[in-house]
């Protein structure tokens, strides 16, 4: 009977393990499926076409140039390798003002003829029109835009996914903002976390350890929004006052908040790794004449390197993947970071802030999944590097 129960429990555990593994694989597959479908897309908003005259139909521009045209920063076709001709923008509302309802037709069945007449009279014109307002077999010339490539996605310096009718999807500011905030957070948290772990494991007496460690572990359960509120009320004004800034929502504020959030994890896991070292190792070191400090630095820490590296991995994961706290204290500005005292935006904060407004299955939606893929790769590479360093030290 007992053997049957053990066998059933074993089968249940294996089933749960296989099921969990399959779910994780499916999540990763879905993430990359949506993210990779973004690469190779045209940045024009779905359902719209940009119509130009035949003289300009051979011109190919990128999304940044298209945005500059619609923002009136580019006024002439000659600025983008076209013929010298002034660019004039028209949309469906303009067509309704220029042409009568009878000319356009009740269901816009004559829209192709009207647009062609407009382009013949104004060769430099651009007409943004809904595809639904055009015949399916129309012969109008559409403006050619460069397709989104992985290189352009990772290297372009502007992020305006909601720009109409052409979005700009440059993830470089978000990528650099994420790395800047996360790396600085780990630089701040690691020495304090390791020092706290050594103090709890080797220096503090039992009475101090018994009330201090549960308190530190309790900090791990505090919601991130509480840390964000603390940072907004305390850290942001502090940074603003110390550095004489106009605003305190900066990369430095985000790094400090993330460092505070990562400390409990680093301290707890590192302390457990040091405390589980066999007492014979300590006694052997002390018997050979090493001091307590030499035993800690030259014996215990290298011996617990794998556990400490696990703490670092968990701390890095907490820093890179944090959303709400970073969203509240970094300024949430999707611009190229110029230093720790400037506002930034991270990839997790971008996904959290924009996913709700992105239409399901649209280009913006896929771009956010592509950002998720980038975040996954960053986390994977970081964990692999830390794990490799730990194995070399252990050997």
State the pairing for strand pair 144-145/159-160: unpaired
**189 SS3 class:** helix
pLDDT at res. 251: 92
For CA atoms 228, 231, 236, 237, give the dihedral sign.
positive
pLDDT at res. 392: 56
Q: By the 8 A CB rule, do 334 and 350 touch? A: yes
In terms of Cβ atoms closer than 10 Å to its own Cβ (0-12, 13-18, 19+), residue 52 is buried
Alpha-carbon distance of 255 to 192, in angstroms, equals 14
CA distances 176 to 34, 190, 277, 355, 374, Å, are 23, 21, 39, 20, 12
pLDDT at res. 394: 53
Strands (E), the chain: 48-52, 60-61, 88-90, 125-130, 141-142, 144-145, 159-160, 168-169
For each of the chain's 395 residues, which pLDDT tens digit applies? Answer: 577 888 888 889 989 989 999 998 998 898 888 888 899 888 888 888 888 888 777 788 888 888 888 888 888 888 888 788 898 999 888 888 888 888 888 888 888 888 888 888 888 888 988 888 888 888 888 888 889 999 999 999 999 998 888 889 999 999 999 999 988 998 999 899 999 999 988 888 888 888 888 888 888 888 888 899 999 999 999 999 999 888 889 999 999 999 999 898 899 888 888 888 888 888 888 888 888 888 888 888 888 887 888 888 888 777 788 888 888 899 888 889 888 899 999 999 999 889 888 888 889 999 999 999 999 998 888 878 777 766 655 55
Tokens coding 348: 């997790």
Q: Give the Cβ contact number of residue 255 at 10 Å.
A: 28
Backbone angles phi, psi at 358, to 5 degrees: -85, 130
């Amino acid at each position: 009977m007992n053997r049957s129960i053990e066998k059933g429990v074993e089968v249940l555990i294996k089933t749960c393990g296989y099921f969990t593994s399959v779910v994780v694989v499916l999540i990763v597959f879905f993430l990359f499926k949506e993210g990779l479908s973004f690469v190779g897309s045209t940045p024009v908003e779905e359902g719209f076409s940009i119509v130009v005259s035949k003289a300009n139909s051979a011109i190919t521009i990128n999304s940044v140039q298209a945005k500059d045209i619609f923002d009136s920063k580019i006024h002439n076709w000659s600025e983008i390798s076209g013929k010298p001709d002034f660019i004039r923008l028209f949309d469906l509302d303009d067509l309704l003002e220029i042409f009568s309802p009878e000319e356009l037709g009740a269901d816009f069945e004559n829209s192709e003829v009207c647009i062609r007449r407009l382009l013949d009279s104004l060769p430099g014109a651009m007409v943004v029109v809904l595809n639904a307002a055009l015949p399916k077999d129309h012969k109008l010339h559409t403006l050619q835009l460069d397709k989104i490539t992985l290189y352009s996605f990772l290297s372009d310096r502007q992020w305006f996914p909601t720009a109409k009718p052409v979005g700009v999807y440059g993830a470089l500011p978000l990528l650099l903002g994420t790395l800047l905030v996360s790396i600085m957070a780990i630089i701040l948290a690691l020495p304090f976390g390791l020092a706290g772990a050594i103090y709890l494991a080797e220096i503090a007496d039992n009475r101090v350890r018994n009330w201090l460690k549960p308190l530190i572990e309790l900090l791990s359960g505090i919601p991130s929004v509480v840390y964000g509120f603390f940072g907004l009320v305390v850290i942001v004004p502090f940074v603003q006052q110390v550095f004489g800034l106009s605003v305190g929502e900066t990369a430095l504020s985000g790094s400090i908040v993330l460092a505070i959030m990562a400390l409990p994890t680093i301290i707890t896991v590192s302390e457990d790794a040091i405390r589980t070292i066999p007492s014979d190792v300590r006694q052997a070191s002390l018997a050979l004449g090493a001091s307590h400090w030499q035993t800690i630095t030259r014996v215990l820490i290298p011996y617990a390197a794998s556990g400490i590296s696990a703490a670092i991995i968990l701390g890095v994961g907490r820093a890179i993947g944090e959303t709400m706290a970073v969203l509240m204290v970094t300024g949430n500005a999707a611009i190229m970071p110029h230093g720790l005292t400037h506002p930034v935006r991270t990839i997790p904060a971008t996904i959290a802030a924009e996913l709700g407004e992105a239409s399901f299955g649209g280009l913006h939606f896929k771009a956010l999944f592509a950002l998720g893929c980038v975040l996954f790769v960053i986390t994977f590479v970081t964990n692999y590097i830390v794990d490799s360093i730990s194995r070399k030290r252990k050997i």
